[in-house]
Amino acid sequence: MSDIKKVVLAYSGGLDTSVMIPWLKEHYDNCEVIAVSGDVGQGTELDGLEEKALKTGASKLYVLDLVDEFVEDYIFPTLKAGAKYEEYLLGTAFARPIIAKHIVEIAIKEGADAIAHGCTGKGNDQVRFELAIKAFAPKMKVIAPWRTWELDSRDKEIAYAEAHHIPLKINRETNYSKDKNLWHLSHEGLDLEDPSNEPQYQKEGFLEMGVSPQQAPDAVTYLTLEFEKGIPVALDGVTMKGADMVRRLNELGGKNGIGILDIVENRLVGMKCRGVYETPGGAILYEAHRILETLCLDKATAHKKAELGITFGELVYNGQWFTTLREALSAFADVTQQTVTGTVKLGLYKGNMINAGAQSPYSLYSEDIATFGESDYDQMDSKGFINLYGLPIQVRALKQQGLL
């Protein structure tokens, strides 16, 4: 510990990292603590962060504007891959590598001896942060207080904060573990730890990015999304950059109860964990992108892409963003997206997304071929196809019946 003179702390201003500044100074011989916050769209959660960090013992606070990079280099590549993890749209998972990458840059710039984070020893984020650190600073020491400290519950952390006069925005009754960024908001802990409990969707303040389907309007909200090579570029005819697109879709989706997910997921460390996720804009983008691909991708490519999308999602969830395989899968996805250009119209209604029509100049759908009416398609072609396609089945049956 005597070798640790300067620590860069991944700082969100939440419960864990708020108590870590004084805790690190107490346990590492009054070391200098430099706090770093990555702005990935947390909004008001960043308000007053510098004053709080300095008052609790940090020597300085960096707030890094990462929003556009987050959307363009992490969210959109994952969207193009169609990647999910057990229906989870990876909101926390793909935010960690970009934050960790930039924290390493600050640590190197400041000549830090170690990087500290507030991830628990039970979760996925510890892996995501530390694998990213290994990718850019393989010899950097990592301090993870949750693995060793005496504050082994959130109640004890709150008591520590109260004793050290650290201001918190939560109390013991609202002590959900949350993570928020431009893409999503996650909720874990308290009553959600029992999977038999229904989430308190109707309770004021539980949902923050929108409302429950029951509270949504009684009228359909229509929107039209335009994509170019798998990337959303315009909403209702208005061209906008990625971050603004997500913000606007969050508003539209949120007010219509879109993108609420309650799942028990399989964590990387082996345990099951129950969480509620709000991803209103992301859910809309995934659904519109999926619909457009049904027009633009051939069967073999679509099926293989869906298969590899599972692998891509697992890589992101498991903290392996900065790996050769993830880069290779992104390259594959980019090739598949060359023709994923067109428009999709959706109707949003009380948590539902209704396909209201899609079109693309690269559409592989032919009304003339698919029609039940007259067409140039020769239906007699199917007889020879079935005979050849079914030949192995026919031969096996003949053999079993002693006819061959």
Which tens digit of pLDDT belongs to each residue from 76-88?
Answer: 999 999 999 999 9
How much is the mean pLDDT over the chain? 95
pLDDT one-digit tens code per residue, 171-210: 666 678 889 999 999 999 999 999 999 999 999 989 999 9
Of 44, 12, 290, nearest to 129 by C-alpha is 12
Q: Residues 344, 288: contact at Cβ < 8 Å?
A: yes
**What's the sign of the alpha-carbon dihedral 79, 85, 88, 92?**
negative
- The residues assigned a catalytic role are 16, 96, 125, 177
Of 7, 67, 63, nearest to 36 by C-alpha is 63
Token output for 238? 């208005």
Rounded to an integer, what is the distance from CA 357 to the centroid of its chain? Answer: 27
> 3-state class of 131 per DSSP?
helix
- Is beta strand 272-278 parallel, antiparallel or unpaired with respect to 221-228? unpaired
Task: For Cα atoms 235, 241, 247, give the angle at the middle one, nearest 5 degrees.
Answer: 70
Rounded to an integer, what is the distance from CA 141 to the centroid of its chain? Answer: 27
Q: What is the model's pLDDT at position 154?
A: 82
Q: Residues 268, 94: contact at Cβ < 8 Å?
A: no
Q: What is the mean pLDDT of residues 368-384?
A: 94
Q: Any idea what DSSP says for residue 119?
A: -
Rounded to an integer, what is the distance from CA 46 to the centroid of its chain? Answer: 20
Of 387, 350, 334, nearest to 78 by C-alpha is 334
pLDDT one-digit tens code per residue, 116-147: 999 999 999 999 999 999 999 999 999 999 99
- pTM of the shown model: 0.94
Spatial CB neighbours of 323, under 8 Å, sequence gap ≥ 6: 315
Of 107, 77, 264, 250, nearest to 180 by C-alpha is 250
Strand partners for 37: 63
Q: What is the model's pLDDT at position 32?
A: 98
Residue 139 to residue 124: CA distance in whole angstroms:
21
Residue 233 to residue 227: CA distance in whole angstroms:
6
